[in-house]
Amino acid sequence: MTTLILQHGDCLLHQTGLRHAESPERVSAVLNAVRGIEGTETLPAPLATTEQLMRVHPASYWDELVQAEPVDDGEPHSIVALDADTFMSPGTINATLRGSGAACFAVEQIEAGNATNAFCAVRPPGHHALAEMPMGFCLLNHVAVAARYAIASGFAEKVAILDFDVHHGNGTQGIFEASPEVLFVSSHQMPLYPGSGARSEKGVGNIVNLPLAAGDDSKAFRAAWNGYGLEALERFRPDWIMISAGFDAHERDPLGQLHLQDDDYGWITTQIRQVAESHCGGKIVSLLEGGYDLEALGSASAAHVRALTA
Catalytically active residues are: 128
Q: Which residues pair with 241 in a beta bridge?
A: 160, 284
Q: How far apart are CA 33 and CA 37, in angstroms?
A: 9
Instruction: Give the neighbor-by-neighbor strand order of the sheet with 3-7.
Output: 40-44, 3-7, 117-120, 284-288, 240-245, 159-163, 182-189, 207-212
Residues with Cβ within 8 Å of residue 99, at least 6 apart in sequence: 11, 45, 48, 120, 122, 123, 124, 125, 126, 140, 142, 287
Q: How far apart are CA 305 and CA 197, in angstroms?
A: 27
The four Cα atoms 233, 120, 11, 141 give a dihedral, to 10 degrees, of: -20
Q: Where are the alpha helices (DSSP H) in the chain?
A: 25-34, 50-54, 59-68, 92-111, 142-152, 170-176, 218-224, 230-236, 262-279, 294-309
Q: Where are the alpha helices (DSSP H) in 56-163?
A: 59-68, 92-111, 142-152
- CA nearest 193: which of 211, 175, 167? 167
Give the CA radius of gyration of the chain: 17
- Residue 114: what residue type? N
- CA nearest 287: which of 101, 20, 72? 101
User: SS3 for 130?
Assistant: strand
User: SS3 for 68?
Assistant: helix
Q: Which residues pair with 284 in a beta bridge?
A: 117, 241
